[in-house]
A and B are shown apart, each in its own frame.
Chain A
Amino acid sequence: MKRSAQTLLCCAAAVFLAGRTISIQVCRADDKPAEPAGPASFYRQVRPVLQRHCTGCHQPAKAGGKLVLTTYATAKAGGEQGTGFEAGKPDDSLLIEFITGEKPAMPKNAPPLTKDQVALISRWITEGAKDDTPPEVQDTISPESPPVYHSPPVISAVAYSPDGQLIAVSGFREILLHKADGSGLAARLVGRSQSITSLAFSPDGKLLAATGGNPALFGEVQFWNVAEKKLERSATVTTDTVFGGRFSDDGTLFAFGGADNSARILRVADAEQILKFDAHADWVMATTFSVDKKYMITISRDRSMKLSIVETGQFVDNITSITPGALKGGLMALRRHPKKDELLIGGSDGEPKLYKMIRTQARQIGDDFNKLKGYAPMTGRIFSLDFNADGTKFVAGSSTGGTGMVRIYGTEDAKLLHELKGHARGVFAVGFSPDGKHVVTGGFEGKVRIFDAETGSLEKEFIPVTVTPTVAAN
């Protein structure tokens, strides 16, 4: 009797357990079969398959199994397991091995490639695995054939040359050198990077450095010879754009931040990387050096400003408070006082703040000891800051997304000196002229505006590129 009752009960439990089904929904569009006409093309047929199904994981930023499938060369080189493929021998090619079989190992956690896709890749290898990638895919831009604009590009960086004669303005694939009085274009510096994120002249004015790159592809630091309008050196770094470049006061070192959460220092003389600093937890948006270039200071979307030693790369301190909630949102703009080790920052909370660099008192939980001053908050996020030559004033630019704001503050007395009006949309870049008489701004609108820093009035407004109207696309 006992046993039969037991059986009954266990069955009841079994029914309940069986009633709970766990299902996983997988939705994915199936690709159309490739057409087997003529020899298989790497660029037009194989590469799209890799792009759609493989390069999410096998890309420079991730490199699963140390394999990168974004280019022919890296696909051929292979990864941990060996060479990617053997031309003419699909059966000896790892690439084929991984995507075939009863339960193909790849793509991981996704439906296997279709028979047609596998057949296509296999056929391409059989036919010799040739690289038919055109030398400059879709890229018709060069110094000889500079970009043509149908609408003004967003301005993400501006800088005055130390002699006050030029304003460098970011463009698309180029840097535009304008005469500082706004009277016209002096030169176009066309390079490889689509996006220019920061511009800085060397203290002697001989070099113009730009940080930038192609989003999600590569980062680049460019050093231009200003006199000859020639690219002196270029360093390709990381797999995404780099930001916030700054020379040391003696012009020998150049620091910048990256989307890989790192900050780096190059030797200006040969663009050789001498330091990589990895203490940040999010993108590093701006950098600078101490007056004596012993220290590098970096800010990040991780909400912190960090101090590190240039010589060793050693992390010294979080200059800002690390109390949770003390900092609201990421930091985006940083400038060091031209004369001393005081640091001006701006970011998501819209409030410019001044910090001293070196902590002179032990940290206590909850303190913000190094903070010297806070300035009247601006609306939106601060994207850019710049001191005048003696550090008595600074200019700050912000964006709410919808509108922009530019202000000049007195550094010491924290007074709001001028509000520079006329910005219909967000401001991403501001700069003080070396003589302190002018301020230049740029942003979403794609317009350069020059203001009188003494009166706050607009002196000049122009679009830095020639816009060729286009017939409206359908």
Chain B
Amino acid sequence: MKSPLRFSCPAAVVACAIGALAGNRLIAAEPPALPPIVELATFPAKLELNGVRDSRRVLVSGKTADGLTVDLTIGSQFAADGEAIALDKDGYVSPRKEGTARLIVKAAGKEIAVPVEVKDAKPVPVSFVREIQPSMSKVGCNAGTCHGAQEGKNGFKLTLRGYDPETDYFALVDDLSGRRFNRSLPSQSLMLLKPTQGVPHVGGFLFDEDSRYYKLIHSWIGDGCQYDNQSRVTRLEVFPTSPVMDLEGRKLQQVVIAHYPDGTSRDVTRDAVFSSSNFNVATVTNTIESSGVVESLRRGETAILVRYEGDYAANQITVLGDRTGFVWADTPEFNYVDTHVNNKLKKMKTLPAELCNDAEFLRRVSVDLTGLPPSLEQVKAFLGDLRDTRVKRNAKIDELLETAEYIDHWTLKWSDLLLANRKFVTEKGVWGYRNWIRSGIAANKPYDKFVSELLTSNGSTFQNPAANYYRISREPTAVMENLTQVFLGTRFSCNKCHDHPFERWTQGQYYQLSAYFAGVGRKPGSLPEEEVVYPLRSPQPVVNPRSNVAVAAKFPFDHSGSAGVDVHGELRDQLSQWLTSKDNPYFATALVNRYWSYLMGRGIIDPVDDIRSSNPASNADLLKALADDFLAHNMDMKHLLRTIAQSHSYQRSFQTNKWNADDGENYSHFNPRRLTAEQLFDAIMIASSSPVTLPGVPAGFRATQLPDPNIQIGFLDMFGRPPREIPCECERAAEVSLAQTLNLINGPTVSEAIIHPQGLIARLLAANTDEKTLIEDLYLSVLNRYPTDPERTTAAGYFLGVASRAEAAQDLMWALMNSPAFLFNR
């Protein structure tokens, strides 16, 4: 659970957080009574069975008088009516012979008959790919902690989560001359004795002799342990799709349908593996006895992740909880962002916060767009501007987007992502690379152009600094890993050694995509430390270590723009065209999601560089609208930032109300966050008006302007400056530590800035400023707002008690700098 951060009343916040923690362990009491059901329905409305192992169940739902749909599957009674079908204890209907029959469903005092048609009931052998392998996945044989571990377990190794059925088949039948099965007496097969604990098994008891899995494996061994080249699943569907559960303590059965390339489908609910991305909100069952049943525990949202045979799906679950008394109040919508955000809030019965005040807005938008808080003068000017607040806010946004500080701030962001680091590209190189990024930001280069210049770069890294991209990532696989994480927001590094554990990316695709960089040559230039990137005449083949075969370049997925890619051009040109195409569904989405997170504190898909089907967007419509708008505006990054900053959603107060206090991901209120290392350092200098002198750069260079992390400044490292070694947003640490707190209280950075002889306090005292103005200016400079009346009184009282005016002023500035209002962007 993400705790909302409120600092107006810290004690209350802590109490709230502790309460929330204790609440995690609460088990929902008696399930709430169901409202009266007026109508019964099943999904699907009729069943069609196409094969002897095509068993299916129906979901039973009831409609209440006020239009609510509740799941009644658990607790429904089923009966088979007809010779063609059989019903098992799980409520599954399986074929007995071809023909028609009915499934009688009784629930909530009502009855409904579901027509069943058995189209095919011919006996067929058990399939290893479709039946045996999924059974082993379901009971966890191939889990990473068991036989799916890199070295297997106790001499028996399976591929992780069964990504390679053929290898697993050989492990079962070929290892140790057929030790693991016994065709002569299948019940004496090791692969049945182990999971039933007929012989000792460290992995424990997994199923008994009466179970479906036992019978399937028994029958497969009896048939001679054959391998079948059945195609694997191509798509999973989960029903009911994105259900809303009204209260805590409700249970909901899901059904997973697997679709195969031959057009057939199966109900694989019992064999699919389920997990809940937020098990504080809802849990999901994952045993042989109960599979895919969601239980709502507390208000919130979670994704139920479903895995089956190497394919993945996610089902978004919303638990409303008791919202008695909630009434939606219309709130201004400044642009389309607000429409989408509010639609989600209405669905969640969450009430957005008020618009933040002008002072809060100015500080927030300045930090977010330029990395720096406003100066004392800027605060006074903005607060004194009497125009309509929306007009002056929009004008401020436009103004900030054209500042030099905007360029510095976004250069820093991109330098992080592109790993500008002298360790890789020399000192001369890192300045060149930084300046190349700067010029792109300054010119507001369209994003696709920016990326394509990087990817297709050639020549001297000194003359064409974009080529540093290939100086930093030196192997085809390293370039590919960087590219997918930065520009597609996906983590391909997982599928280097095995298929991606949470996504359909395969190990083969890892090498196919890497092969686009097989032709990148690197050689020393004529200058010392210079390197030249050039296209190789004969590319070094990229080899998949599993097959030991050179891999041909191939896109991991096709989109409607890939047909237009010129396949005769240089490989990197092809890749760049494919990647930056407007039709590539990931390219624009990854960028808008990343930029959104910079301003809103959390990605719509979060983490922003881990996009996958099992990590769904909290607001898919919003994400799509942002991406569409970005594409419609020629991938203009300033337009994107302007749109977000102008929205009411961005300008909401961080203060919460009764109806949004628990919201962490739907943007009903602003999510406060600690200033980043560079922002905090620069903010201390600006607030104290202390001149900046950093080592290795010209005087006056701010922390935001540093070219790379190899300029030793302990303060920045303590506050989480990323070392720029991996292209992950997670490299920048955002947490608050005790060491940081102590440093701010006692460390030299703050205290030296406060007492600096050219600083604000020295200047104000030299000018004999009266006490009221002095206090006011300190508040304006540090917290970027006027003090409140009680604050003025408290501060004035403090001045009375301290003999030295200078010391009193320094104490006040110190206290303000150590307050959350300064340390956080909120």
Contact = CB atoms under 8 A, between A and B. Distances in A.
> A and B bound?
yes
A11 interface: yes
Given A1-B815, A18-B3, A172-B182, A10 B174 contact: no
A194 B181 CA distance: 11
A2 B814 contact: yes
B580 to A, nearest CB: 38
A237 B607 CA distance: 55
B279 interface: yes
A6 B14 contact: no
A39 B130 CA distance: 44
A5 B818 contact: yes
Given A18-B3, A195-B179, A383-B177, A29 B184 contact: no
A327 to B, nearest CB: 16
A1 B14 contact: no
A97 to B, nearest CB: 23
Contacts of A9: 741, 744-745, 818-820, 823
A225 B704 CA distance: 88
A195 B176 CA distance: 11
Given A8-B819, A11-B14, A474-B219, A151 B736 contact: no
Nearest to A3: B815
Contact of A6 (B184, B280, B745): B745
A401 B203 CA distance: 26
A208 B227 CA distance: 36
B593 interface: no
B222 interface: yes
A16 B736 contact: yes
A21 interface: yes
A19 B179 contact: no
User: Which among B3, B24, B280 has the greatest number of chain A C-beta atoms within 10 A?
Assistant: B3
Interface string B740-754: 010011000000000
B183 A153 contact: yes
User: Which among A51, A153, A383, A400 has the greatest number of chain B C-beta atoms within 10 A?
Assistant: A51
Contacts of A6: 745, 818
Interface string A429-458: 100000000000001101000000000000
B178 A428 contact: yes
B822 to A, nearest CB: 10
A150 B184 contact: yes
Given A150-B222, A301-B155, A156 B194 contact: no
A216 B189 CA distance: 11
B200 A29 contact: no
A285 to B, nearest CB: 8
Contacts of A443: 177
Contact of A426 (B174, B736, B737, B812): B174
Interface in A18-72: 18-19, 21, 23, 25, 27-29, 48, 51-53, 55-57, 59-62, 70
B289 A473 contact: no
Interface string B270-282: 0000000001100
Interface string B1-40: 1110101001101100110010010000000000000000
A259 interface: yes
Contact of B17 (A18, A60, A429, A473): A18
Interface string B287-316: 111000000000000000000000000000
A152 interface: yes
Contacts of B166: 401
Interface string B189-212: 010011001111111110000000
B287 A27 contact: yes
Nearest to A148: B184
B24 A23 contact: yes
A19 B3 contact: yes
B741 A13 contact: yes
A271 interface: no
Given A197-B177, A259-B155, A283-B155, A13 B203 contact: no
Contact of A156 (B3, B14, B178): B178
Contact of B204 (A7, A56, A195, A239): A56
B81 interface: no
B43 interface: no
Range for the number of chain B residues in contact with chain A: 35 or more
Nearest to B225: A444
Interface string B371-408: 00000000000000000000000000000000000000
B825 interface: no
Nearest to B125: A472
A15 B819 contact: no
Nearest to B9: A11
A5 B5 contact: no
Contact of A154 (B7, B183, B193): B183
A443 B183 CA distance: 13
A366 interface: no
A12 interface: yes
B813 to A, nearest CB: 11
B416 to A, nearest CB: 22
B53 to A, nearest CB: 11
Contacts of A349: none
Contacts of B155: 259, 282-283, 301
A4 B7 CA distance: 13
A428 B528 CA distance: 61
Interface string B122-134: 0100000000000
Nearest to B11: A11
B812 A1 contact: yes
B218 interface: yes
A299 to B, nearest CB: 14
Contacts of A399: 174
Contact of B24 (A21, A57, A156, A197): A21
A19 B4 CA distance: 9
B287 A61 contact: no
A239 B745 CA distance: 64
A12 B823 CA distance: 10
A171 B182 CA distance: 11
A61 B178 CA distance: 22
Given A8-B7, A61-B200, A29 B183 contact: no
Interface in A380-403: 381, 383, 399-402
A89 to B, nearest CB: 28
B815 A151 contact: no
A283 B155 CA distance: 8
Given A21-B24, A153-B183, A401-B169, A13 B738 contact: yes
Nearest to A465: B184
A426 B815 CA distance: 78
A462 interface: no
A187 interface: no
A440 to B, nearest CB: 15
B69 interface: no
A457 to B, nearest CB: 26
Please give me the 10 A-B residue pairs with the lowest Cβ-Cβ distance, nearest first. Answer: A401-B170, A59-B200, A11-B10, A154-B178, A52-B205, A172-B184, A156-B177, A216-B199, A428-B177, A51-B197
Given A15-B17, A18-B14, A150-B184, 10 more contacts: A1-B815, A9-B819, A13-B738, A15-B14, A147-B185, A197-B177, A216-B199, A216-B201, A259-B155, A400-B170
15 contacts: A5-B815, A11-B7, A12-B7, A12-B736, A13-B736, A13-B738, A14-B14, A16-B736, A51-B197, A55-B200, A56-B204, A150-B183, A154-B178, A301-B155, A443-B177
Interface of B: 1-3, 5, 7, 10-11, 13-14, 17-18, 21, 24, 123, 155, 166, 169-170, 173-174, 177-180, 182-185, 187-188, 190, 193-194, 197-205, 218-219, 222, 224, 227, 279-280, 286-289, 735-738, 741, 744-745, 798, 811-812, 814-815, 818-820, 823-824
Interface of A: 1-2, 4-16, 18-19, 21, 23, 25, 27-29, 48, 51-53, 55-57, 59-62, 70, 138, 147, 149-154, 156, 171-173, 194-195, 197, 214-217, 239, 241, 259, 282-283, 301, 381, 383, 399-402, 426, 428-429, 443-444, 446, 472-474
